Structure 1
Amino acid sequence: MRRRDFVTLLGGAIAIFPGATHAQQSAKKWTIGYLGFGPASSWTSEVEALRNGLRDLGYVEGKNILIEFRWAERADQTFYLATEFVRMKVDVIFAPASTQVEPARRASTTIPIVFAQHADPVGLGDAVSLSRPGGNVTGMSMLLTEISVKELEIFSETLPNVARIGVLWNPTTPSHPTAVKAVGAAGQKLGIQLVLAPAGTISEIQEAFATMSRQQVNGVLVLSSPLYTAQAGILAELQMQYRLPEIFANRANVDVGGLMSYGADLDDLYRGAAAYIDKIFKGNSPADLPVEQASKYKMVINLKTAKTLGITIPPTVLARADEVIE
């Protein structure tokens, strides 16, 4: 082969090769391991919000992305499911809340982990700082401690004559001890006696309501937990059984009969989490992706439930509601 022909052939190969490499990269099918806390039916809206966020960024399930769903029935199952994702060598573990983030971190310190509604990533040690997480974990934060205090204030305004409020909290939710302390301090300032009722299983939830009823609480503040969202139907039934109005952080609890909710817009947070996954797929390290705090909050009131419980929502509270269920 003459030298001129060889150079021409080599130049053509160089011109073709980069395009072939790019085609290989763009044809890659990324895998996300979704570490959920079931049942899946309790998280339909949030899952769809994540999917919509990914679709808006050009990811089509079955074409260039695959989402592997695993749903834990108990908190102690999450670590096993996380290790399953490690064995599968997923590209990202999506662990929505602190309940799932901590077992995912124990399972892997190298696979990127993205959260959508973490209560306190810095306080719980899942991030060094909000501006620079520093590890393999990042995402969206819902500010649980601050929200819980605000919920107590709203609840006391909704039920102005109450003297005692129960606080349902989950010992298996890492962020709850801090939130319980903050709520306790807020209760003292408001002159409200709080009755703490820990519950980490369905049977414990039922026992907690029986205990709170015996202690004559006037209502129940339910701290945000994947378990309490997953068991929204049971909590609504217990509310009616014991005639104890409830306030939540998640509007899904109000959709099935809870009295009211105030909290971060979870759909917005899950859509935001999709952007983190996209950035990681494009080569960014989670250590360098700042944690974003919730910017949208909603208050939802179920007037049908209020009527059933014989509660009149004060006009000042009703006027601040973003949505009212008739």
Structure 2
Amino acid sequence: MRRREFITLVGSAATWPLAARAEQMPVIGFLSPLPSGEPPPFAGFRRGLAEEGYVEGKNLAIESRFANFRPELLKEAAGDLVRLEVNVIFAAYPESLTAARNATSSVPTVAVDLESDPVAMGYIKSLARPGGNLTGMFLDLPELSGKQVGLLKEMVPGLSHIAIFGVPGLNAAQIAAAAAAVRAVGVEAEIIEVQVPDDWRRALEAAKTRQVEAGILLSSPLVFVSSKQIGELALANRLPLISLFGEFPKAAGFMAYGPNINSMWRKAGIYIGKILHGTKPNDLPIQRPEKFDLVINLKTAEALGLGVPPTLLARADEVIE
């Protein structure tokens, strides 16, 4: 692929960093596997940067690269950011983190990763002292899975069979944690794999055929961008699903319980601001989310024939009617 074609596909041209360096302005490289365009949590990221005194266009530049779900472009995009000598890489997705790790072991990298166990994967030495050039925000997967299973049991009387929808490889750690949480409460786990948006129809129909009574959507960019499609298909198949993305029930899905993504991206912005001020990544411990949101769509619950217990409604952070 020619250089000009690559730049057109994955993001802005490399003019910003050159101008920024002329003004001695630090540059953040934002690496995304998604189609071009800032995702909603980016506003939280900007707030975190502002708390550390950094505002894009004033004393900071952001150079973005988008891969449109094409791994070969993401690999090249990471290398491009390294060649541009950005000051920090913001890897807000697990695929971005993998690409950044393969591209550099020296450029400071801040991650928001909802899918990986950073210690088990060998990304870091410990949560308190990550080591190397990586730090960021990671989930406690077993704890989250246990709470999601508990919520489904509250909502679906006599629940005995739960589907776990995940992306092979990407969701390996989550699949293990979710399956263990399901079996721990005496419920059968059914693992159903998805890889591209077109897989959702087949996957949900397979769940219905296998007499699954509810399901867990493991986190991935694929789930995030397909929330509306998944919600509609789940309703057609009368299958209650829980996601960790609040966008899911807001797009006609049933329920979500997970970390506040805006808060995680804001903290990533704060960490990057600290690194630009001179703090080393190894001095910034890995953080776990502190705020978790429960969002319930009452209209979808009614369409599925489910009554929401008043105690659950009282605990909800948001109820969609």
Q: So what's the TM-score if we normalise by structure 2?
A: 0.87
- Cα distance, 1:42 vs structure 2: 8.3
Residue 80 of structure 2 is matched in structure 1 by: 84
Contact map agreement 1:148 1:223 (CA 8 A) in 2: no
- Whether 1:152 and 2:149 are equivalent positions in the alignment is yes
CA distance, structure 1, for counterparts of residue 37 and residue 239 of structure 2: 25
Would the alpha carbon gap of residues 80 and 148 (structure 1) be closer, same or farther in structure 2, given more than 3 Å must change? farther
* Alignment partner of 2:129 out of 122, 127, 132: 132
* Alignment partner of 2:222 out of 224, 227, 236: 227
By percentage of residues, which structure has more helix? 1
* Alignment partner of 2:53 out of 45, 58, 71: 58
Question: What residue identity is the alignment partner of 2:104?
Answer: S
- Secondary structure at the counterpart of residue 95 of structure 2: helix
Would the alpha carbon gap of residues 42 and 85 (structure 1) be closer, same or farther in structure 2, given more than 3 Å must change? closer
Aligned counterparts, 1:22-101, within 5 A: 28-39=24-35, 43-44=39-40, 46-74=41-69, 76=71, 77-101=73-97
CA distance, structure 2, for counterparts of residue 102 and residue 48 of structure 1: 24
- Cα distance, 1:72 vs structure 2: 2.8
Residue 325 of structure 1 is matched in structure 2 by: 320
CA distance, structure 1, for counterparts of residue 67 and residue 235 of structure 2: 28
Residue 143 of structure 1 is matched in structure 2 by: 140
Deviates more, 1:256-265 or 1:197-206: 197-206
CA distance, structure 2, for counterparts of residue 158 and residue 113 of structure 1: 40
Q: So what's the TM-score if we normalise by structure 1?
A: 0.86
Aligned counterparts, 1:153-168, within 5 A: 153-168=150-165
What is the CA deviation profile of residues 118-155 of structure 1, one whole-angstrom value per residue up to 9, with x for unaligned ones? Answer: 44221222111011110111011222332122211211
What is the CA deviation profile of residues 43-74 of structure 1, one whole-angstrom value per residue up to 9, with x for unaligned ones? Answer: 31x11100122123221211211112222322
CA distance, structure 2, for counterparts of residue 37 and residue 159 of structure 1: 35
- Whether 1:114 and 2:110 are equivalent positions in the alignment is yes
- Cα distance, 1:168 vs structure 2: 0.2
Question: What residue identity is the alignment partner of 1:140?
Answer: M
- Cα distance, 1:109 vs structure 2: 0.8
* Alignment partner of 2:299 out of 298, 304, 321: 304
- Whether 1:257 and 2:256 are equivalent positions in the alignment is no
* Alignment partner of 2:285 out of 285, 290, 315: 290
CA distance, structure 2, for counterparts of residue 276 and residue 42 of structure 1: 19
Q: Which has the larger radius of gyration?
A: 1
Residue 178 of structure 2 is matched in structure 1 by: 183
CA distance, structure 1, for counterparts of residue 238 and residue 75 of structure 2: 37
CA distance, structure 1, for counterparts of residue 37 and residue 80 of structure 2: 22
CA distance, structure 1, for counterparts of residue 38 and residue 186 of structure 2: 35
Extract unaligned runs of 5+ from structure 2: 1-19
RMSD: 2.1
Deviates more, 1:308-317 or 1:218-227: 308-317
Contact map agreement 2:240 2:254 (CA 8 A) in 1: yes
- Cα distance, 1:40 vs structure 2: 5.5
Question: What residue identity is the alignment partner of 2:57?
Answer: G
Extract unaligned runs of 5+ from structure 1: 1-23
Deviates more, 1:226-235 or 1:32-41: 32-41
Question: What residue identity is the alignment partner of 1:108?
Answer: T
Would the alpha carbon gap of residues 308 and 37 (structure 1) be closer, same or farther in structure 2, given more than 3 Å must change? farther
Question: What residue identity is the alignment partner of 1:124?
Answer: M
Deviates more, 1:128-137 or 1:307-316: 307-316
Contact map agreement 1:148 1:249 (CA 8 A) in 2: no
Contact map agreement 2:53 2:273 (CA 8 A) in 1: no
Contact map agreement 1:248 1:261 (CA 8 A) in 2: yes
Question: What residue identity is the alignment partner of 2:143?
Answer: E
Structure 1 stretches of at least 4 aligned residues deviating more than 6 Å after TM superposition: none
Determine what percentage of the aligned residue pairs are the same residue: 36
CA distance, structure 1, for counterparts of residue 62 and residue 227 of structure 2: 25
Question: What residue identity is the alignment partner of 2:178?
Answer: V
